Structure 1
Amino acid sequence: MEIRTSEMGLVARVARLGKHYGEGEHRVTALDDVSIGIRRGQFTAIMGPSGSGKSTLMHVMAGLDTPSEGRAWLGDDEITGLGDAELTRLRRRRIGFVFQAFNLVPTLDAMDNIRLPFELDGRRPSAEERERIDALIGALGLVGRTGHRPHELSGGQQQRVAIARALATRPDVIFADEPTGALDSRTSREVLQLLRAAVVERGQSIAMVTHDPVAASHADRILFLADGRIVSDCGAMSAEQISETMLHLERVA
């Protein structure tokens, strides 16, 4: 009998994962026999040189892309082979996303952007969920800004709205794709501290793709990819240690 993902202390995992593009001599391998899990209540950073497969890995784990080989689970539910409608429903209810480009709806104010996952799910937030949203707005420093549309907010404030939206449904896991890529260093540090607090104070699970050693230094665990394979699985590291590891990977690539 197969061991369930939750029994491993994981919120998401992939097994023997492969992803290829093209055919014959034009075939490109983005992921090559990857087996890895995202641990519950942990902040995981996914790093690697450009073209190493880190974004592809995140997209497959989040159900945004399909693997060429292997299997993927969200919690105890295998998502490999699910149809688009089932995947969309599952992502909406159990996954939070934070992107470099914020991905806020420009015609909606901050509060409506935060509540968008509920709207898309065809329901209103419950009393408990409204309380959670209000607590997030306070914790993320958005009090007094919820009636503003994205163009009336700074980049840092827009990313805070995106984080509140990702946390509002209390998802199983949050996937963050270069969440500080469009921010200055001070705002980046604040956003990373907010993500860290979501793990420590709310027990969230976060998987973050980043090329930034400073961003990755906020994580509990760092996965390094090269040529579509996991080449190192480390605990917390300093930005300097991460930079040295990345330089080594780029030299041998």
Structure 2
Amino acid sequence: MDISTSDMGLVARVENLTKSYGTERTRVDALRGITVGIRRGEFTAIMGPSGSGKSTLMHIMAGLDSPSGGRVWLGDTEIGGMDDTRLTLLRRRRVGFVFQSFNLVPTLDVAGNVELPFELDGRRPSSQELDWIAELESSLGLVDRLSHRPHELSGGQQQRVAIARALATRPELVFADEPTGNLDSRTGREVLALMQGATRQYGQSIAMVTHDPVAASFADRILFLADGLVVEDRGHMEAAEIATFMLTMEQAA
């Protein structure tokens, strides 16, 4: 009998995961038999050289791409072979996303963007959920911007809105793909600190793909990928240590 993902203290996991592109002659193996899980209540960074498979791993774990082989769970639900309708519903209710490009709806104000996941789910937030949204908006410094549309906000403010939207439904797991890539250093650090706080204060689980050692230094755990494999699974590391380790990896490639 399989031990459930929850029993393992995980919010998502993959087992013997493979992903290949192209035909037999031109085949590229992006992932080569990865088994790994994302721990509950932790901020996990996923790092590796270009082409290491880190974004592919995140997209498959999030149900945005399908594997060539292996098994994938979100919570205790195995999502391999799940039809698009069920998978979309599962993502909507269990997963939040923060992307480099923000992906805010330009015709909606801040309040509308934050509450968009509820609208897509065909329901209004409950009173407790409204209290949670208000807490998020306050902690993220958005209270004075709720009636503003995205084009009236700075990059950092837009990313804060994206984080509030990702956390609004209290998803089990938030995936972040290079979330500070379009931000200046100071704003990037503020956004990372907010994400770090979401795990420590609210118990959220965050998995972040990044190439930036400074960004990864905010994480509790760092998974290093190379050539489609997890080559190191480390705890918290300082930025200089991460940069040195990444340089060693690239020199060995």
TM-score tier after normalising by the smaller chain length: over 0.9
1:59-98 superposed matches below 5 A:
59-98=59-98
Matched residue SS, 2:50: coil
Rounded Cα–Cα distance in structure 1 between residues aligned with 2:170 and 2:9:
18
Rounded Cα–Cα distance in structure 1 between residues aligned with 2:9 and 2:49:
29
Deviation at 1:6, TM superposition (A): 0.3
Q: 2:149 — aligned with what?
A: 149
1:42-191 superposed matches below 5 A:
42-191=42-191
Rounded Cα–Cα distance in structure 1 between residues aligned with 2:107 and 2:32:
41
Deviation at 1:24, TM superposition (A): 1.2
Over residues 157-179 of structure 1, what are the superposed CA-to-partner deviations in whole Å (9 max), with x where a residue is unaligned? 00000000000000000000000
* Paired letter, 2:122: G
Rounded Cα–Cα distance in structure 1 between residues aligned with 2:62 and 2:111:
25
Rounded Cα–Cα distance in structure 2 between residues aligned with 1:114 and 1:48:
31
* Paired letter, 1:113: N
After the TM superposition, which segments of 4 or more aligned residues of structure 1 sit over 2 Å from their partners?
A: none
* Paired letter, 2:210: T
* Paired letter, 1:98: V
Report how many aligned residue pairs link the two structures.
253
TM-score by length of 1: 0.99
Q: 1:4 — aligned with what?
A: 4
Deviation at 1:249, TM superposition (A): 1.0
Deviation at 1:25, TM superposition (A): 1.6
Matched residue SS, 1:8: coil
* Paired letter, 1:182: N
Deviation at 1:23, TM superposition (A): 1.2
Q: 1:219 — aligned with what?
A: 219
- % identity of equivalent residues: 69
Q: 2:237 — aligned with what?
A: 237
Rounded Cα–Cα distance in structure 1 between residues aligned with 2:126 and 2:203:
21
